[in-house]
Structure 1
Amino acid sequence: MKEILNRILNHEELTREETKNILIGITQSAYPDEQITALLTGLQMRGITVDELLGFRDGILETGVPVPLDCDRYIDVVGTGGDRKNTFNISTTACFVIAGAGYKVAKHGNYSATSISGASNVIANHGVKFTDDIALLNRCINECGIVYLHAQLFARAMKFVGPIRKSLQFPTCFNLLGPIVNPSKPQCQMLGVANLNQMRLYNNVYQKIGIDYAIVNSIDGYDEISLTDNFKVTTNNYERIFSPQDLGFETARPDELVAGATEEEAVRIFDNVLANTALPAQKNIVLANAAFGIQVLERGNKDITECIETARESIDSGRALQTFRKFVELNS
């Protein structure tokens, strides 16, 4: 580790294999906390490379609990978090809309770190019990089209760096790992990022992993399609800036996206969208995010307006809500 730290101080880059081995060493308590703190601080100051990030990902997946799903093609929809916007659970809601439209979803999530309600918060508030039972997880994705993977049950390495990350009180490279360590290794992913630097980083990461993807960023700083302003989308097939009007939507107001002051308020919005009783802006935002996820699943072969109508039908027909009710039934 002394040699590694000296190389980082000299602005040298580590290989993918080196960062993988460092991560494995951390799980074996091979380094004192002071050295791990120095490592994370040095990487944050210098900026992490694509291969370094992929090495940490390899280590987390290798030391974690794998989730082999009996399903050929499914998607995860997730945001990096950290945009400080306290939006309602847009990605999680979109996942149930996608599943309601007949596609398969393996949603990876956790409790909130920076907002009122994370994916695990809103799921747990409905009485769902998180599980790492592979048979039950497979039954869930086969019977209702969606499975939820609570990160803490699978990424065992994260507990070794948790206290250090908390004491540092600034973001580290581990904040970037959440979206790319889904233990089921989905073939498709839609990712919301808070800035264009992250978009470039993940674009290179996904190209090396070799999956179908869409990365989205709202120009006004949301890590999802907020419809409050123009937004950029980068996929395997294209890179484009859209306006809300390009999708047939009106521009939303920031206050229409807010989760509220309590978990209960966030849960109410989630429920209202699936029940088709939400504010028009709240429904539209979920439709937009679900549509780009559907387009990824369709390998870019469907126009986004067609994907929006597919998502709309999922809500309007009641299938999105039925999917969620079946999911709760299977996991309670």
Structure 2
Amino acid sequence: MAKYTPPFTLSNKTLTLVAKISESIGRLTVQQEQAKLLRLRKVNRMKTVQGSLAIEGSTLTQQQITAILDGKRVIAPPKEVQEAHNAINSYATITQWHPTTESHLLNAHLQMMTGLVKDAGMYRQDGVGVMSGEHVVHMAPQAERVPKLMAELLDWLETCDVHPLVASSVFHYEFEFIHPFSDGNGRIGRLWQTLILSKWHEVFINIPVESMVFQHQEDYYAAIRQSTQKSDSAPFIEFMLQMIFDAITEAKSAGSEGLSDGLNEGLKLSPIDNVIMTLMEQDCYITNTQLAEQSGKSQSTIERRIKRLKDAGLIKRIGAKKTGYWQLNH
């Protein structure tokens, strides 16, 4: 009987991104000596956990996640604190798992969802639909098909000769399509893609791709929907590779700028940060598009730097997105 192969095509954009990421990750591995990686590991782990949980609706801030990482108590909904503890433990365990071993996948779900669902560590026993607001956007396969579908997917991952960047993205999409668990599919899918990538380059354990996905959350779900409509995961592959490339670019920037834990030691401003804040001082109603035009940087770069400045408490958005204004706190 023919083995299952997920349907996907490789676009020119995908092939270009694979080449660019491969080149960038090689440079990152060489440039960032172990001391820098150790120094950045904590803040990157915080970003990874906060980003992945925020996609699922968690309201915990980066400061709160950092406090939990440090073993401190935080005032927050108990469920969200439990989610954070579970995610921190799961990412701390990631090097002990192998991506094609089913028992490791079930163990990861057990760690990620302990105290949150009754069937942690087990495939779902009921039908499930993926909701967007009040609308069902995806009906997952019947529960009785899940063990076979997951066995086929894990077997494909183990035997395929596809580049890890593409294979990890295909797996991520197929995993979300199957929706094997009653809850926690999003965070496990993102965790497992990081695991697959870390077997290719260990440095991926310290690159917070999940944080980048959170910044483009609507596009993440749109890419999943487009792939389902086309019966081809190409849109999702392209999206995830772009997020991975952007996350690597930011990680390289953080290393070269000497960023340390910005929550405790302050953010070292880059030249573009100073330009952004100067432009905001001159016009507090300036938009991201105008900032990009006047600084000569891409809008995605502007959005990343603004988020970093906001997290560091240097700028604050007052009012609505369209009618509000910027307040500087330096």
Provide the TM-score with structure 2 as the length reference.
0.28
Q: Which has the higher helix share?
A: 2
> If the length of structure 1 is used for normalisation, what is the TM-score?
0.28
